[in-house]
Amino acid sequence: MRAQMRAQIRAQIKNIDRSVDKSADKSADESVNKSVDENVDRSVDENINESVSSLNEHNLYYNYLIWLKAVYNNFYSFKHALSKFKHNEQL
């Protein structure tokens, strides 16, 4: 009878050990997964922010050049129209 009780106690201890091991493994896996996910998310966010910042800076320069071109073209057109007007006035 004692041998049977010892066997049952050993079986219960093994079940508890397995349960604790599974729980600890699951907890560790979840913790590692969460940490990795947070690090990846942070890294991706930082890379996206840097890319968007560079793109915004590039777009700013591009828009400035387009604006300068428009100003130059308008000035040239105005100057050309003014010279035609002056030429017609002299006739």
pLDDT at 27: 78
- Does residue 80 lie within any of the structural domains? no
Mean pLDDT of 3-21: 79
- Does residue 75 lie within any of the structural domains? no
Predicted confidence (pLDDT) at residue 90 exceeds the cutoff of 70: no
Q: Radius of gyration of the chain from Cα atoms? A: 39
- Does residue 77 lie within any of the structural domains? no
Predicted confidence (pLDDT) at residue 91 exceeds the cutoff of 70: no
Q: Is the dihedral of CA 63, 66, 72, 78 positive or negative?
A: negative
Q: What angle do CA 18, 36, 42 make, to 5 degrees?
A: 155
- Does residue 61 lie within any of the structural domains? yes
User: Tens digit of pLDDT for each residue in 34-88?
Assistant: 887 787 778 877 877 777 777 777 788 888 888 888 888 888 787 777 777 777 6
pLDDT at 82: 73
Question: Can you list the pairs that 66-69 forms with residues at least 24 positions away whose Cβ atoms lie under 8 Å?
Answer: none
Q: How many domains does the chain have?
A: 1
- Does residue 76 lie within any of the structural domains? no
- Does residue 87 lie within any of the structural domains? no
Compute CA 50 distance to the chain's CA centroid, rounded to the nearest angstrom.
8
Percent of the chain with pLDDT strictly greater than 90: 0
| Residue-number span of the structural domain to which 37 is assigned | 1-65
